[in-house]
Amino acid sequence: MRRDKPKYKQIIDAAVITIAHNGYHQAQVSKIAKEAGVADGTIYLYFKNKEDILISVFREKMAVFTKNLQAVLNQETDASMRLFKMIKNHFRVLHEDRHLAIVTQLELRQSGKKLRLKINEVLREYLDLLDVILTEGIEQKELDSTLDIRLARQMVFGTIDETITSWVMNDQKYDLIELAPKVHKLLIRALKA
């Protein structure tokens, strides 16, 4: 499969819009092709099937979150500030791409178990970086030394995820980014040493 062409990104972006508007199950390849401005057959030069498109969408878009978080880790050493910037960046990306928010918060959850397992593999790199924040925060005595990293990771990511899902379910009527300091304050109080 081709991956290095501008059409690949064009199809990925079209898939996000099409899935957000129609739902994953109703987003036929022909609709994605139409949104991308390509022939139906062109899709198959880049993707095996619709499932491959969804996984590729998640992989490409998750790379943005991971890149942003890696930049935070490179710039900041304070666990609290790292966590705040992670939350703010996560919220910002989805606030700026509301179609992507619908896809990640609603449509991915309606996929089958096999597809969700593949998506979890993609999410792993991002969660590993969250583990770095938590582990180094404990080592630097900023965070509670008795924290269970796995449980803390679930709590942090789950809170971020549920806050975004609520925003999407409420038709994105309010500014998600404005919630970042409140979510951060709540989480950091639970994690502090």
104 in a domain, yes or no?
yes
pLDDT at 123 (0 to 100)? 93
Identify whether 183 is part of a domain: yes
What are 141-150's contacts with CB under 8 Å, separation 24+?
A: 141/193, 142/78, 142/79, 142/80, 142/192, 142/193, 143/79, 143/191, 143/192, 143/193, 144/191, 144/192, 144/193, 145/193, 147/191
In a domain, 9, yes or no: no
Give the rounded distance of the alpha carbon of 171 from its chain centre: 18
Phi, psi values for residue 167, rounded to 5°: -60, -45
Q: What is the span of the domain harbouring residue 71?
A: 51-191
User: Does 59 fall in a domain?
Assistant: yes
Going by C-alpha positions, the residue among 58, 63, 65 that lies closest to residue 87 is 65
pLDDT at 98: 95
- Residue 32 has a pLDDT of 97
Residue 21 located in a structural domain: no
Q: Tell me if 110 is assigned to some domain.
A: yes
| Helix intervals (H) in the chain | 6-22, 29-36, 40-46, 50-75, 79-96, 98-102, 113-139, 149-169, 180-191
As averages over each run of 10 residues, the pLDDT of the chain (193 residues) reads 78 97 94 96 94 92 95 96 98 96 89 84 95 97 97 98 96 95 98 87
The reported pLDDT for the residue numbered 72 is: 96
In a domain, 75, yes or no: yes
Count of domains observed in the chain = 1
In b/e form, how buried is each residue of 27-58, taking b as 16+ CB within 10 angstroms?
A: bebebbbebbebeeebbeebbeebeebbbbbb
Q: Please report the pLDDT score of residue 113 as a whole number.
A: 84
pLDDT the model gives residue 4? 52
pLDDT at residue number 43: 95
| pLDDT of res. 112 | 80
State residue 110's pLDDT score. 76
Residue at 14 is within a domain: no
What is the domain-level CATH number for residue 181?
A: 1.10.357.10
Tens digits of per-residue pLDDT, 2-49?
655 889 999 999 999 999 999 999 999 999 999 999 999 999 999 999
